[in-house]
Structure 1
Amino acid sequence: MSELINNREYRQNMLKEVIKELHEGKTVEEVKGKFAKVIEGVSPTEISEMEQQLVKEGLPIEEIQNLCDVHAAVFKGSIEEIHHPEEVPGHPIYTLKKENEAINKYIEERAYPNLEKFKSEDSKENITNLIEDFNLLWDIDKHYSRKENLIFPYLEKYGVTAPPKVMWGVDDDIRSMIKDVKLTLMNYKGNKDEVINKIENTISQIKEMIFKEESILFPMSLDTLTEDEWISIYNESDEIGYAIVAPEVEWKLKRINIEGKEESKGEIEGGYIKFETGILSSKELNHILNSIPGDMTFIDKDDIVKYFSQGKERIFPRTKAVIGRSVQNCHPPASVHIVEKMLEDFKSGKKDNEDFWIKMGNIFVLIRYFAVRDNLGNYLGTLEFTQNIAPIQEIEGEKRLLSK
């Protein structure tokens, strides 16, 4: 047994050296040749543990993220297929894989041919076709959002934090690249080579992410999560939506009674809540909060997500898997420092609120954060309130009569 442990530790140390030497500037082929025997038969779990250890030793998530593509190239073809994703129609992993197939098929059958036409002639028609392609490829955002908001929280509960953070960062890079391609095409000024380069790089990144998901994330997740957790992921997937293709059938392992239990949980356990200015039942309070036109999320003094509203005008996806999760893990790595600085200011009393606003297509999103304190000024947590204020901005004059 000690020999197995030592061999495993040796390989783990050598795997870390692969990443470090790449970081120091060595080529993929140089590293792959040197460590060919070491990486033979590497499993997704070992790669996960390697990244986790690198983070613990102080290597920033951003550096692992920057090496992610090279990392994947080194291990491509060497990852042992010891965990086979479920091939049951309707299972969350089955659906994710089907989406990857549809995305890859669209790229091969539509995006690539349209790119070749553009290379031959940068006509208005060919530009329009590429814009349509990337409008459809933006659907990939739903695919990424489901794994970030549903699968990642469960992996974190088992101590698997580094791979999700790295992958989330790359997801955001791909989102940005798709937006950039669309913007460049819509404002095309004859910069043909630049457009071609951006499109090819974006498609390459999308394909690399498909490889990383199916070779590393999916097997690791299937090996880690329980059936009950997959059921929870299945039950909440519809809220976020699907990319290009929807689930073929309902997953047969879905437990119907779980949904009913969760829906009535507040009413059974809540009773009545007495406030300084009145009394409300848990049912009344729940529906009052869900009637407010905006999203509300509350994190406690320890930065743990404890509640979110489920109104009809939700802007950003929230799933029940987020409850009990550290708020730092609910944000992409690139924006975590902003969240931490804001919370630091709230906890110290330097600030009581902070506002942000962004444009998302036809909506104008106002995101407000409020420090929640008790009567003595002690910090209890932070309330986030998000609202589409575009309709409010359009208000003019006065309205004194009921709408018809």
Structure 2
Amino acid sequence: MFMNRIDSLVELLQKLNSGDISPELRQEALTMVQNVDPLELSLAEQKLIENGTKPEDLRHLCDIHMEVLKDELDRLKLGLTPDHVLTTLIDEHEEINKRLHILEGINNEIQKLESYDENNDIFAKLHSTAVEIIGAEPHHKREEDVLFPELEKRGVTGPTRVMRMEHDMLRAKKHEIKKLAEEVQNMNFTEFKTQLDEAAKFLIFNLRDHIYKENHILYPSSVQTLKEENLWTEMKEACDKIGYCSFTPGK
């Protein structure tokens, strides 16, 4: 029965990925995902990858199921201790999202300017915000070196492959924004604005999307999958050795 549900979900995801989403298909998707838990969704995505779907094609595959997950994160946190590995990761996501909001405002302000002015502190704010967003690296390292391997040991490999790929993509875009902030005085300002607008909008959209999927799919799947006694305690010790971000609450 369990695998039949996975197969049905795989078929639904393939239909959604076709790009032609009718009202009937949308309703079918909503009805199905109301009865699908995060682990099943992860396994369905994994099966699609094994069948030849490229991981990058899954990044925006199933926005529909997000509609029924809006309150799931609060319920997940209620079941975790304040110092749990996942509690810290979720709290860091909130801080990263705050900085993405700041970056969005900075970009909007810069797009209204006609020329570079060294006395305008908006360019210093752009650089410092890019540095803070890059400063999330310990967050990603704890996921990649502690959380993901434990899932992969237990056969959950598809979602972690997608998340690793997105980390690499997002990492490059963060550094691109920082470099633009450092080179603005040497660039054609129109070209600078164009490059910044493209990079900032790409990072903001894709990092928000990435965070949402981790919060609502990967982390709940982790709770369901990693049930061995003392495992989370050992993982917390490994995370402590890696370290935390400058903005990590309570650290």
Structure 2 contact 173–203 (Cα < 8 Å) conserved: yes
Query: Could you say which residue in structure 1 is the equivalent of 2:7?
Result: 13
Structure 1 contact 90–248 (Cα < 8 Å) conserved: no
Deviations 1:173-231 (A, max 9, x none): 11111112222333333221331121011011111111111101111111222341111
Instruction: Choose between structure 1 and 2: higher strand proportion.
Output: 1
Deviations 1:72-112 (A, max 9, x none): x222122484972444221111111111111122333x323
In our comparison, the structure showing a higher alpha carbon Rg is 1
**Mapped partners of 1:29, 1:128: distance in 2:** 47
Structure 1 contact 40–78 (Cα < 8 Å) conserved: yes
Question: Are 2:146 and 1:150 aligned?
Answer: yes
Structure 1 contact 138–178 (Cα < 8 Å) conserved: yes
Amino acid at match of 2:29: F
Structure 1 contact 92–233 (Cα < 8 Å) conserved: yes
Candidates 80, 91, 95, aligned match of 2:88: 95
The equivalences for 1:347-358 within 5 A come to none
Greater RCO (Cα-Cα under 8 Å, separation 6 or more): 2
Query: Could you say which residue in structure 2 is the equivalent of 1:76?
Result: 66
How many percent identity over aligned positions? 25
Quote how far apart the aligned CAs of 1:138 are.
0.4
Quote how far apart the aligned CAs of 1:29 are.
7.4
Structure 2 contact 38–218 (Cα < 8 Å) conserved: yes
**Mapped partners of 1:30, 1:117: distance in 2:** 42
**Mapped partners of 1:93, 1:84: distance in 2:** 9
Structure 1 contact 45–220 (Cα < 8 Å) conserved: yes
Instruction: Choose between structure 1 and 2: higher helix proportion.
Output: 2
Structure 1 contact 41–78 (Cα < 8 Å) conserved: no
Unaligned 5+ runs, structure 2: none
Candidates 238, 245, 264, aligned match of 2:240: 238
Deviations 1:356-389 (A, max 9, x none): xxxxxxxxxxxxxxxxxxxxxxxxxxxxxxxxxx
| Secondary structure at the counterpart of residue 20 of structure 2 | coil
Q: 1:136 to 1:237 in 2, by over 3 A?
A: same
**Mapped partners of 1:59, 1:78: distance in 2:** 28
**Mapped partners of 1:229, 1:182: distance in 2:** 38
Unaligned 5+ runs, structure 1: 250-404
The equivalences for 1:214-253 within 5 A come to 214-225=215-226, 226-246=228-248, 248=250
Quote how far apart the aligned CAs of 1:31 are.
5.1
Query: Could you say which residue in structure 2 is the equivalent of 1:253?
Result: none
**Mapped partners of 2:207, 2:153: distance in 1:** 27
Question: Are 2:168 and 1:172 aligned?
Answer: yes
Structure 2 contact 17–61 (Cα < 8 Å) conserved: no
Provide the aligned length of Structure 1 versus Structure 2.
238
TM-score in terms of structure 2 length: 0.83
**Mapped partners of 2:57, 2:25: distance in 1:** 16
Query: Could you say which residue in structure 2 is the equivalent of 1:338?
Result: none
Q: 1:207 to 1:30 in 2, by over 3 A?
A: farther
